[in-house]
């Protein structure tokens, strides 16, 4: 595999684990506020991010590339309002999309079409991630100011269940 491409994929493992850590911190914030449904939603999000990291880890191993695990940064966002994590989540996903797009572009340039195919799943997944984040913001704008509707929204988010990624390597 192209050296630069392998390094970018290796770095992405770290970014995905950081995402997991960031989402766990959001779950932590909502848990402290007594909103266990929101906390559940972000705990599952954190699990999904670990899956993303492991898919890239496995892909590099499957291609005989050495993986180097690096330190995961401390979650660096401060949340005050109930909306703050939702907005930070969307911003973060837009950033991750730009990272995936960059790796995709490098894979295309070096004509590594196997990696391009592997990354197709991530490109689609980022579309879903951004949509989910945007939907949450919309729902909070609509229902967040009233205790009763916030309770219902919290109950809706409590129903989210984890499912393993659809991508098989």
| Cβ atoms < 10 Å from Cβ of 127 | 12
Q: Which member of 26, 29, 30, 49 binds ligand FEO (CB under 6 A)?
A: 49
Q: Whose Cβ is closer to ligand FEO: residue 113's or residue 165's?
A: 165
Question: Is residue 25 at the binding interface for ligand FEO, with CB under 6 A as the rule?
Answer: no
Question: Is residue 16 at the binding interface for ligand FEO, with CB under 6 A as the rule?
Answer: yes
Instruction: Output the smallest distance, CB 153 to ligand FEO, in A.
Output: 21
Instruction: Output the smallest distance, CB 158 to ligand FEO, in A.
Output: 20
Instruction: Output the smallest distance, CB 56 to ligand FEO, in A.
Output: 9
Q: Which member of 46, 96, 107, 140 binds ligand FEO (CB under 6 A)?
A: 96
DSSP state letters, 100-127: HHHHHHHHHHTT-HHHHHHHHHHHHHHH
Question: Is residue 93 at the binding interface for ligand FEO, with CB under 6 A as the rule?
Answer: yes
Residue 51 three-state SS? helix
Closest CA to 119 of 69, 127, 67: 127
DSSP state letters, 4-35: HHHHHHHHHHHHHHHHHHHHHHHHHHHHHTT-
Q: Whose Cβ is closer to ligand FEO: residue 20's or residue 39's?
A: 20
Rounded Cα–Cα distance for residues 67 and 49 (Å):
18
Instruction: Output the smallest distance, CB 53 to ligand FEO, in A.
Output: 8
Residue 163 three-state SS? coil
Applying CB under 6 A, the site for ligand FEO has a residue count of: 7
Q: Please report, as ranges, the residues that interact with ligand FEO according to CB under 6 A.
A: 16, 19, 49, 52, 93, 96, 129
């Amino acid at each position: 595999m192209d050296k630069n491409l392998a390094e970018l994929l290796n770095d992405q493992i770290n970014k995905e684990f950081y995402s997991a850590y960031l989402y766990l911190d959001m779950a932590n914030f909502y848990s402290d506020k007594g909103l266990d449904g929101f906390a559940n939603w972000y705990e599952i999000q954190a699990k999904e991010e670990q899956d993303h990291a492991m898919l890239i880890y496995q892909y590099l191993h499957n291609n005989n590339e050495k993986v180097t695990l690096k330190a995961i940064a401390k979650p660096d966002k401060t949340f005050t309002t109930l909306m703050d994590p939702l907005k930070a989540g969307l911003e973060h996903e837009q950033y991750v999309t730009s990272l995936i797009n960059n790796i995709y572009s490098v894979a295309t340039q070096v004509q590594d079409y196997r990696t391009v195919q592997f990354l197709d799943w991530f490109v689609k997944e980022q579309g879903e991630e951004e949509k989910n984040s945007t939907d949450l913001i919309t729902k909070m704008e609509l229902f967040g100011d009233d205790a009763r509707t916030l309770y219902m929204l919290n109950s809706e988010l409590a129903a989210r269940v984890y499912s393993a990624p659809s991508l098989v390597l």
